[in-house]
Structure 1
Amino acid sequence: MDSAPRTAAALGIDFGTHHTVATVLRDDGRRHQLLFEGTPLLPSGIYIDYEASILVGRDAAREGRRRPERYERNPKLRLDASSILLGDKDVPTRDAVAAVLRRVIADCGTAAGVPRSVTVTVPAGWGPARRHIISDAAASAGAADPVLLPEPVAAARYFAEVLGHGLAPGQTLVVFDLGAGTFDASAVARTDTGYEVLAVDGSDRIGGHYLDQALVDYLGGRFAGSEERAAQWAALLDPDAGAETLRQRFVLYDEVREAKERLSRHASTEIAVPGFAVEELLTRAELELLARPLMAQAVEITRAVIREAGLAPEELAGLFMVGGASRMPLAATMIHQELGVAPTLIEQPELVVSEGAVIAPAAPRPSPPETPPAVPPFTPAAASLSTPPLSTPPHTPAAGAAVPEPVPFPQAAPLTGVLPPPPPQPVKRSPRPFTLVVFGLIVALVLGLLLSELINRGDDDEGGGTGLEDPDTSETASDPAPTPSDLYEGDLVSDWAAVEIVDVESAAGSVTVATDAAADLGDCLVDIRGTDTAEYGIAVPCDQFTLVGLWASDTYELWVYKEQAFEDGKVTTFDTTPVSGEVYWDCPQSRQYCQDQGGEPGIRGTYTDPGSTIGTAAVGSVYELSCYEIAEEITPRGEEAEGFHDYHPGKAASDLMIQVEVPEGAGYLPFVWLIVDPADLNSVGGLTECQDHITAS
Structure 2
Amino acid sequence: MDSARTGAALGVDFGTHNTVATVLRGDGRRHQLLFDGHPLLPSGIYLDHDGSILVGADAAREARRHPHRYERTPKLRLDSPSILLGDREVPIGHAVGAVLRRVLAECTAVAGPPRSVTITVPAAWGPARRHIVSDAAIAAGAPAPVLLPEPVAAARYFAEVLGHRVGPGQAVVVYDLGAGTFDASAVTAAPHGFEVLAVDGSDRVGGHYLDQALVDYLGGRFAGTEERAAAWRALIDGGDDATESRRARFMLYDEVRGAKERLSRRSTTEVLVPGFAAEELLTRAELELLARPLLAQTVAITKAVIREARLAPEQIAGIFMVGGASRMPLAATMIHQEIGVAPTMIEQPELVVGEGAVALADQPLTPAAAPLVLPPTLTGAPSAGPAAPAPATPVVQPPVSGPATAVQPSVPTAVQPVPGPVTTVQPLVRDRPRRRLPVAMLMLATVLAFAVIGGGAWWLSGRTGQAAEEDPTESIGTAESVSPAAESESPAPSDSPEPDPASQAPQTITGEVYWDCPMTRTYCRDQGGEPGIRAAADDVTAIGYAAVGTVFELVCYDRAELITPRGNEGEEGHWDYHPGKDASDVMVKVALGGGEYGFIPFVWLVIDPADPNSLGGLAEC
TM-score range, shorter chain: 0.5 to 0.7
Seen in structure 2, the aligned counterparts of structure 1 residues 144 and 395 have a Cα distance that, compared at 3 Å, is: farther
> Aligned residue for 1:432?
none
> Does 2:343 match 1:389?
no
Cα drift, residue 193 of structure 1:
1.6
Seen in structure 2, the aligned counterparts of structure 1 residues 260 and 595 have a Cα distance that, compared at 3 Å, is: farther
SS at match of 2:211: helix
> Aligned residue for 2:302?
302
> Aligned residue for 2:339?
339
Cα drift, residue 388 of structure 1:
3.6
SS at match of 1:295: helix
SS at match of 1:224: coil
Once residues 217 and 170 of structure 1 are traced to their aligned partners in structure 2, the CA distance between those partners, rounded to angstroms, is: 46
Q: Which amino acid aligns with 2:283?
A: T
Query: Does the 8 Å CA contact 2:175/2:185 hold for their aligned counterparts?
Result: yes
> Aligned residue for 1:321?
321
> Aligned residue for 1:12?
11
> Aligned residue for 1:35?
34
Seen in structure 2, the aligned counterparts of structure 1 residues 198 and 236 have a Cα distance that, compared at 3 Å, is: same
Once residues 537 and 28 of structure 2 are traced to their aligned partners in structure 1, the CA distance between those partners, rounded to angstroms, is: 61
Q: How does 1:428-447 map to 2 (within 5 A)?
A: none
Seen in structure 2, the aligned counterparts of structure 1 residues 43 and 343 have a Cα distance that, compared at 3 Å, is: same
> Aligned residue for 2:494?
none
Cα drift, residue 171 of structure 1:
1.8
Once residues 416 and 338 of structure 2 are traced to their aligned partners in structure 1, the CA distance between those partners, rounded to angstroms, is: 28
Seen in structure 2, the aligned counterparts of structure 1 residues 25 and 138 have a Cα distance that, compared at 3 Å, is: same
TM-score, normalization by structure 1: 0.57
Q: How does 1:34-433 map to 2 (within 5 A)?
A: 34-238=33-237, 242-359=242-359, 360=361, 361-364=363-366, 376=380, 378-380=382-384, 386=412, 388-389=414-415, 392-393=418-419
Once residues 62 and 146 of structure 1 are traced to their aligned partners in structure 2, the CA distance between those partners, rounded to angstroms, is: 31
Seen in structure 2, the aligned counterparts of structure 1 residues 18 and 4 have a Cα distance that, compared at 3 Å, is: same
Query: Does the 8 Å CA contact 2:165/2:317 hold for their aligned counterparts?
Result: no
Query: Does the 8 Å CA contact 1:169/1:191 hold for their aligned counterparts?
Result: no
Q: Which amino acid aligns with 1:135?
A: S
Q: Which amino acid aligns with 1:351?
A: L
Q: Greater RCO between the two (CA within 8 Å, min separation 6)?
A: 2
Cα drift, residue 264 of structure 1:
0.2
SS at match of 2:306: helix
Once residues 73 and 255 of structure 2 are traced to their aligned partners in structure 1, the CA distance between those partners, rounded to angstroms, is: 17
Once residues 539 and 87 of structure 2 are traced to their aligned partners in structure 1, the CA distance between those partners, rounded to angstroms, is: 54
- Aligned residue among 589, 592, 602 for 1:639: 592
Query: Does the 8 Å CA contact 1:174/1:187 hold for their aligned counterparts?
Result: yes
Query: Does the 8 Å CA contact 2:148/2:416 hold for their aligned counterparts?
Result: yes
Q: Which amino acid aligns with 1:46?
A: I
Seen in structure 2, the aligned counterparts of structure 1 residues 146 and 282 have a Cα distance that, compared at 3 Å, is: same
SS at match of 1:5: helix
Cα drift, residue 7 of structure 1:
1.9
Cα drift, residue 168 of structure 1:
3.1
Query: Does the 8 Å CA contact 2:533/2:544 hold for their aligned counterparts?
Result: no
Seen in structure 2, the aligned counterparts of structure 1 residues 595 and 291 have a Cα distance that, compared at 3 Å, is: farther
Cα drift, residue 375 of structure 1:
6.8
Q: Which amino acid aligns with 1:292?
A: R
Seen in structure 2, the aligned counterparts of structure 1 residues 591 and 16 have a Cα distance that, compared at 3 Å, is: farther
Query: Does the 8 Å CA contact 2:533/2:599 hold for their aligned counterparts?
Result: no
Cα drift, residue 374 of structure 1:
10
SS at match of 1:161: helix
Seen in structure 2, the aligned counterparts of structure 1 residues 53 and 312 have a Cα distance that, compared at 3 Å, is: same
Once residues 584 and 233 of structure 1 are traced to their aligned partners in structure 2, the CA distance between those partners, rounded to angstroms, is: 26
Seen in structure 2, the aligned counterparts of structure 1 residues 591 and 88 have a Cα distance that, compared at 3 Å, is: farther
Once residues 538 and 269 of structure 2 are traced to their aligned partners in structure 1, the CA distance between those partners, rounded to angstroms, is: 31
> Aligned residue for 1:554?
none
Query: Does the 8 Å CA contact 1:197/1:390 hold for their aligned counterparts?
Result: no
Seen in structure 2, the aligned counterparts of structure 1 residues 315 and 594 have a Cα distance that, compared at 3 Å, is: farther
Seen in structure 2, the aligned counterparts of structure 1 residues 600 and 155 have a Cα distance that, compared at 3 Å, is: same
Once residues 595 and 203 of structure 1 are traced to their aligned partners in structure 2, the CA distance between those partners, rounded to angstroms, is: 37
Cα drift, residue 9 of structure 1:
2.2
Once residues 265 and 390 of structure 1 are traced to their aligned partners in structure 2, the CA distance between those partners, rounded to angstroms, is: 39
Structure ranking higher in helix proportion: 2
Seen in structure 2, the aligned counterparts of structure 1 residues 204 and 374 have a Cα distance that, compared at 3 Å, is: closer
Once residues 209 and 537 of structure 2 are traced to their aligned partners in structure 1, the CA distance between those partners, rounded to angstroms, is: 29
Q: CA RMSD in A?
A: 3.2
SS at match of 1:159: helix
Of 341-350 and 384-393, deviating more is 384-393
Seen in structure 2, the aligned counterparts of structure 1 residues 595 and 253 have a Cα distance that, compared at 3 Å, is: farther
Q: Which amino acid aligns with 2:598?
A: F
Query: Does the 8 Å CA contact 1:43/1:56 hold for their aligned counterparts?
Result: yes
Gaps of 5+ in 2: 372-376, 390-408, 423-525, 546-588, 601-621
Seen in structure 2, the aligned counterparts of structure 1 residues 325 and 638 have a Cα distance that, compared at 3 Å, is: same
Cα drift, residue 395 of structure 1:
7.8
SS at match of 1:228: helix
Q: Give a deviation string over 1:123-158, Cα, whole Å, max 9, x none.
A: 001111111111111111111111100000000000
Q: Give a deviation string over 1:206-265, Cα, whole Å, max 9, x none.
A: 000000000000000001111110111011011576100100000000000000000000
Q: Give a deviation string over 1:359-394, Cα, whole Å, max 9, x none.
A: 2254216999xxxx9974753389996354386345
Cα drift, residue 170 of structure 1:
3.0
Once residues 322 and 21 of structure 1 are traced to their aligned partners in structure 2, the CA distance between those partners, rounded to angstroms, is: 13
Query: Does the 8 Å CA contact 2:20/2:39 hold for their aligned counterparts?
Result: yes
Gaps of 5+ in 1: 397-582, 603-635, 647-697
Cα drift, residue 194 of structure 1:
1.1
Once residues 347 and 142 of structure 2 are traced to their aligned partners in structure 1, the CA distance between those partners, rounded to angstroms, is: 31
Q: Which amino acid aligns with 2:384?
A: P
> Aligned residue for 1:445?
none
Q: Which amino acid aligns with 1:200?
A: V
Query: Does the 8 Å CA contact 1:24/1:34 hold for their aligned counterparts?
Result: yes
Q: How does 1:445-594 map to 2 (within 5 A)?
A: 588=531
SS at match of 1:28: coil
Cα drift, residue 192 of structure 1:
1.4
SS at match of 1:109: helix
SS at match of 2:114: coil
Q: How does 1:681-692 map to 2 (within 5 A)?
A: none
Q: Give a deviation string over 1:65-113, Cα, whole Å, max 9, x none.
A: 1100000000011111110000000001111000000000011000110
